[in-house]
Amino acid sequence: MTEQTVMMAHLPSQMKAWQVTTPGPIDGPQSPLELVTKPVPQPGPGETLVRILACGVCHTDLHVSEGDLPVHHAHVTPGHEIIGEVVGNGPQTNRFKLGERIGVPWLRWTCGVCRYCRSGRENLCPHSKYTGWDHDGGYAQYVTVPEGFAYRIPERFDSVTAAPLLCAGIIGYRAFERANVPAGGTLGLYGFGGSAHITAQIAIDQGIQVHVFTRGKDAQKFGLQLGAASAQGAYDPSPVKLDSAIMFAPVGDMVPNELANLAKGGTLALAGIHLSDIPVLNYQDHIFHEKNLTSVESNTRRDGEEFLTLADRLNIQPATTSYAFDKADEALRFVKQGDIKGACVLKIGED
Ligand SMILES: [Zn+2]
Ligand SMILES: [Zn+2]
């Protein structure tokens, strides 16, 4: 259509943004995060500029801030569950109109030509780029996104409620698919934060019996409120053998118990991008009887579209705790403690 950048009038040139200055413990003497002033980013060809309304706080932001994930972009702004309003379009960009509300997710870009991209598995693209890791993300007032990787957000969700759908929801959905739960089967969820509490709703809506395993007493209670059949500690034996299980906690020590709790032929999907070492496994106790162990890497755009459609249809309700924009480090410390009811979300701009 147009070769020119189209921007709303009266956009400021500077914005507030958090950045990871020196990765380290979020609960240490010096926070790795710093609130700074940066130029508002300019959308390049194919990119949309978004004024941010809300941004979810994901466990992966903690991995980026603490240095569990290697630095991909020095002084990166974390955050990849972004809801915002389109305020600009770069050259050759016309998917979204100014004023539209869109979501900016973790998967920022894939190459489109490698063997994975061409076989419907762009989540495995070796050239992929991620929001809030390779490129500045949503702990800021503005962000750019390649237009093909953003999502339209169903109207039923307000911006704070919609934010956790973009990673917690989408990754949970992919993990749920990877876990291969049989119709009417049993599913164990290990760790019960932002992702698990959304996945639980999808599973329970389909008549699957859900069992929650987490150290957090409030999280256990919350699981039962959502309709889980049982809730217990992360290392406890399961009250029934499980057809499938998803591990959301980044704790490799939990894996042997998770495998032991599986029924014959069961599947365990490890949903995190980072996991501490898995202890030695015993073939008879953990793997024999055709048990399957798989990981989950990011998601495809198709997963995202499918999940958002499903979330709208099932009226999935993420539970959120709002934090003011200037309390991002506090929100991350809360996420690290791991006893959250649902997901934390930064409120950044006015709807
Ligand atoms: Zn590719
Ligand atoms: Zn995430």
Q: Enumerate the domain spans of the chain.
A: 6-153+319-347, 170-295
What is the Å distance from ligand 2's center to 1 Cα? Answer: 34
What are the residues whose beta carbon lies below 5 Å from ligand 2 (ion)? 58, 60, 167
What is the Å distance from ligand 1's center to 179 Cα? Answer: 24
**Does the structure show a pLDDT above 60 at 2?**
no
- Give the pLDDT score at 339: 65
**CB neighbour list of residue 316: distance below 8 Å, 6 or more residues apart:** 165, 169, 198, 201, 202, 310
The CATH fold of domain 6-153+319-347? Quinone Oxidoreductase; Chain A, domain 1 (3.90.180)
**What pLDDT digit, counting tens, does each position of 36-55 carry?**
999 999 999 999 999 999 99
What is the Å distance from ligand 2's center to 155 Cα? Answer: 22
CB 82 within 8 A of CB 131: yes
Indicate which ligand has the atom closest to the C-alpha of 166: 2
**What pLDDT digit, counting tens, does each position of 195-241 carry?**
999 999 999 999 999 999 999 899 999 999 999 999 999 999 999 99
**Does the structure show a pLDDT above 70 at 61?**
yes
The CATH fold of domain 170-295? Rossmann fold (3.40.50)
- Give the pLDDT score at 287: 97
CB 23 within 8 A of CB 67: yes
Confidence band, pLDDT 50/70/90 cuts, at residue 272: confident
Indicate which ligand has the atom closest to the C-alpha of 56: 2
Confidence band, pLDDT 50/70/90 cuts, at residue 4: confident
Indicate which ligand has the atom closest to the C-alpha of 123: 1
Q: CA 126 → CA 37, 78, 117, 296, distances in Å?
A: 33, 21, 9, 15
Name the percent of the chain lying above pLDDT 70: 99
Q: Which of 212, 204, 205, 157 is nearest to 188 (CA)?
A: 212
CB 56 within 8 A of CB 167: yes
